[in-house]
Structure 1
Amino acid sequence: MSIGSTGHLRFSLALNYSTPSQAVAIPRSAASVAESAPKSGSVGHDSGMGEREADSEVVERLLQDELSRGDAALARTETKTSTLLAVFSPILAVGLAVLPRAAAPLTAALLFWAALALLAGALLLLLWSVRPRLRRSGFATYESMTDAELLRHFTRLADDPQRWHRERLLVVAQVGAKKFRLLRTASLLIISALLLAIAAAIASATLA
C-alpha cells in the first residue's frame, strides 16, 4: 500500500468516527434544552400550588380561631345568664309573696309592683336565652339521618373541611347574637326594676 493510499485511509477512518459523534451530540443538546423547559414551568406550577395550600391552611386556622372565640363567648353568656337567674329568681318569689300583704302607701305599692313586673320580664328573657338551640348544629342534625346518610354527610365534610367550619361558625354567630340581645335586654330591665324598687322604698319611707 502506498503512502498516499494510507493517508487517504486514515482520513476516511477519522471522518467515519467523528461524524457520528457529532451527529449524536446535536440531538443530545436539543433534548437537554427540551427537558429544561418543562422543569422551569413545573417550578412555577408547584409554587402556585404551594401558595394556594398555604392560603387554605391560613383560612382554616382563622376559622378555627373564630370558632374558639365564639364558643368561649357563648360559655360566658350562659354563665352570666345562670348567675342572674340564680340571684333574682328568689327576689321575685319573695316580692310576690310579701307585697300583697304589705301595708305600704299606694304610690310605693305601685312602684314595687312595677319593679316586680320588670323583674319578671327580665327573668322570662333569661329563661328564653338558656332555652336549648341545637338547630343545624351538633347531634340535632344527625337524629333523623340513617347510616347511609351519615356516611354521605361526613364524606362531604371530609372533601371540604372548611365548609364544615364555616357552617359551624354561622350557627355559633346566629345563636350567640340572639343570646347577647336577650341578655342585654334582660340586664336593662333588671336595672330599671332596681331603680323602681329604690324609688318605691324612698316613697314608702317618705309617705309613711
Structure 2
Amino acid sequence: MRVRPVSFDILTEQLADRITDLGSSRLRVLIDAAPAARPEAMADALVDPLRLRGRSVLRVSAKDFLRPASLRFEHGRTDPDSYFDDWLDIGGLAREVLDPAAPDGSGSVLPSLWNAETDRASRASYVDLPEHGVVVLDGALLLGRWLPFELTVHLDMSPAALRRRTPPDEHWTLPAFDRYRAEVDPGAVADVVVKMDDPNHPAIIDP
C-alpha cells in the first residue's frame, strides 16, 4: 500500500479522468465519507471537470433521501444504530436515482425525495439524464448496501481525526462510523480510497 499526497485540484482532475475513462454510457459515481470529510465538496468539485470532458452531470445527495422523522427517530434522535441502519431510504434512492440512471435505465431521475428539515416530500420534478450523463452522489455509510455504482470513492479518516473534526453535538454518530469500519471496511470495498485526515491535504491510497 502506498500513500500518495496530492492537491485537492489534482485529485479532482484525476477522478474526473478516471470517471471519463469508464465509457460514454450513463455512470453512477459515489463519494462516500463521514460528514467531517465533506463528501459534498468533493462531489461538487467534480461537476465542472466532468462537464469540460463532455459529460452531463446530475448532483444528488443522500441527505435528500432520508426516511421520515417518525422512522429515523423511533429509538431516539441520537441512537447510532438507527443512524447506521434506519436513516437512509435505501429503496427510494435505488428506485428513483440509481436504477433509472443505469446504462440501460430509463434516464428519468428524481434528484430528491424527502426534505428532512420540513419532514415532507421534496416535491422535486424528475430530470432526464442523457445517455452520456453522470450521477454524482455524496453521502455517508453508503458502501456495503448493495447499491449499484460504476465507481465508488471513499474519503477515509482515522478514528482520531474523525473525532477531532466532528462537532461535539454530533459525537453520538461516531459509534456508527466505528461499526462501518468494522463491518463494511470501506477502505477495502471502495474503488478509490483517499486519506482525508486533513481535508486540505488529501492523499490517494494505492493498493
Q: Identify whether the pair has TM-score above 0.5, normalized to the shorter chain.
A: no
Pick the structure with greater CA Rg.
1
TM-score by length of 1: 0.23
Structure with greater proportional helix content = 1
TM-score by length of 2: 0.23
Structure with greater proportional strand content = 2
